[in-house]
Amino acid sequence: MDVEILARIQFAFTISFHYIYPPLSIGLGLVMVAMEGMYLKTGNKLYEDMARFYTKIFALIFGIGVATGIVMEFEFGTNWATYSKYVGDVFGSALAAEGIFAFALESGFLGVLLFGWNRVSSKVHFFATVMVTLGSMFSAIWIVVANSWQQTPAGYHIVGSGLEARAEITDFWAMVFNPSSIQRVCHVWIGAFLAGSFLVLSISAWYLIKNKHITFARSSFKIALVIATISGLAQLFAGHKSAEVVAKYQPAKLAALEGHFDSLAVADMYIAGYIDTKNQKTVGLRIPKGLTFLTHNDFTTPIRGLKSFKPEDRPSALNIVFQSYHLMIAVGMLMILLTLYACWLWYKGKLFEKRWLMMVFVWAVLLPQIGNQVGWYAAETGRQPWVVYGLLRTSDALSKAVTANQVLFSLILFMLVYTLLFALFIYLLNKKITHGPYSKGDIDHSPQHKIMAEEIGTL
């Protein structure tokens, strides 16, 4: 395999793995803010127990998120040196702002959040929780702004040509508020809220099935259900707004997302289907003129299809783009249905009576994860063959000095490390959940292992 495909696989792999964690941190942070806020307001100890319990889960998630997050920043330099030189002037300021305004905020206050329970007052602790959550949300802003700039570049001009060409910033705010940033930041935030709230729903539902910690679980379930329901509905709107931006600024991507080939025609919208790349046709279940209507609010305006773009300017992995996009939408709809149904049962006073529903919620934790992952696959593969839309091709963005073997070596290294990491994560998460919120000191420091008190050292 050549360097390009290996480097792309490596970036996709490391960022996909990383992206399991930050949305969980943001979403869980928000749920914890709600819990601690309730505690401050009502003084009910139950809410404090919740916040303390979920803080432990949060610590685990945040730890892996940090550990896997620095990798991408380094990869820009190691694998994508040409890209780094090209975008550094523009993109760098967003990345630097992320470090200084967001990452520093969350990591600084994380210490207080995790270890400060007995050291600071509950109000100061609440403040720290809010700061960590805000910090992680700010992180999302800057990272998504940088990515959005790659999708819809603005506020820059190109200096030099050929190998020396690079983008230079001309207007900072135009770069920050490029045409797609606001919509995409909201879309990503809400995806994160869903990830966090569905985790809490899943854990609570599991306790209810096991008949453990009933009061605790019911109460947490309700808090998370409120957040999940609102987020699910809001996502419908935010997702639509994101798609509108794609339609306006990235027509080739829209055509790929929707599997629309005809150069200029009124477009149907596929609910599910398959792209026959050979015959340049899409087959599947569709709503006639649906895409045209959603994009232009009428049934007559035509939409540019893939055939109207030069072959080298079309995304190559059409089915990945199409399927990821449709899977994302399907998963989103499923979450909305599920939460609305649960709310209706709640209203009827029968929320916790259906065991099968609780079982569904235990597994539903996977839905937002799937949605977040495939949503990004659609966004990123749909942008191809460009790394910066319309300006820099992915194949031109590589490091000149790096060989395929080096990339392969590091890719294998990351795969091994991340597999181990993921196994440990699941093991420890499961353990913490099994331990539950009330077992005294869930970390067992001086148990039957007498040796603990004695010499364990070797040096």
Partner 1 sequence: MFLGIDYATWWFMIIGAVFTGYAILDGFDLGAGALHLFFNKEASRRIALNAIGPVWDGNEVWLVIGGGALFAGFPKVYASVFSAFYIPFMLFLTVLIFRAISIEFRSKEPMLWWRKMWDYAYCFSSATIAILLGIVLGNMLLGIPIDQDGNFTGDLFYFLNPYAIMVGVTTLALFMMHGAIYLVMKTENRLYTKLTIMVRNTTIFFSICILLLSFYTLLYIPHLTNTIRHHTWMFLIPVAMVFSIANITRSVAKHRFIYAFVSSSITVSLLLIIVAIELYPNMVLSTLSPAYNLTVQNASSSEKSLTIMLIVAAIGVPLVVAYTSFVFWTFKGKVKLDETSY
Closest CA relative to residue 237, chosen from 199, 182, 280, 282? 182
Contact 324, 381 (CB under 8 A): yes
Among 98, 258, 268, 380, interactor with partner 1 by CB under 8 A: 98
Its sign, for the CA torsion 398, 404, 406, 407, is positive
104 binds partner 1 (CB under 8 A): yes
Per-residue burial over 436-459, b if 16 or more Cβ lie within 10 Å, else e, is bbeeeeeeeeeeeeeeeeeeeeee
CB of 47 to partner 1, least distance (A): 18
Residues 126-145 close enough to bind partner 1 by CB under 8 A: 131
From residue 290, alpha-carbon distances to 175, 235, 441 in Å are 33, 19, 56
Among 279, 285, 297, 454, interactor with partner 1 by CB under 8 A: 454
Closer to partner 1 by Cβ: residue 2 or 168: 168
Dump the DSSP string for 63-95: HHHHHHHHHHHHHHHHH-HHHHHHHHHHHHHHH
* HSE-CB of 227 using CA atoms within 13 angstroms: 28
Residues 391-410 close enough to bind partner 1 by CB under 8 A: 399-402, 406, 409-410
Among 4, 13, 16, 92, interactor with partner 1 by CB under 8 A: 92
Question: Mask 25-64, x = binds partner 1 (CB under 8 A)?
Answer: ----------------------------------xx--xx
- 213: amino acid identity, one letter: H
CB of 78 to partner 1, least distance (A): 5
CB of 320 to partner 1, least distance (A): 27
Among 166, 184, 326, 383, interactor with partner 1 by CB under 8 A: 166
Say which DSSP state 453 is in: G
Closer to partner 1 by Cβ: residue 101 or 309: 101
Closer to partner 1 by Cβ: residue 280 or 406: 406
Residues 323-362 close enough to bind partner 1 by CB under 8 A: none
Closer to partner 1 by Cβ: residue 108 or 288: 108
CB of 424 to partner 1, least distance (A): 6
Closer to partner 1 by Cβ: residue 285 or 459: 459
Q: Which residues contact 43 (CB under 8 A, 6 or more apart)?
A: none
Closer to partner 1 by Cβ: residue 349 or 447: 447
438 binds partner 1 (CB under 8 A): no
Closer to partner 1 by Cβ: residue 301 or 403: 403
List the structure tokens of 208. Answer: 């209810």
CB of 64 to partner 1, least distance (A): 7
Torsion angle in degrees (nearest 10) through CA of 336, 340, 341, 343: 140
Closest CA relative to residue 246, chosen from 146, 371, 375, 335? 375
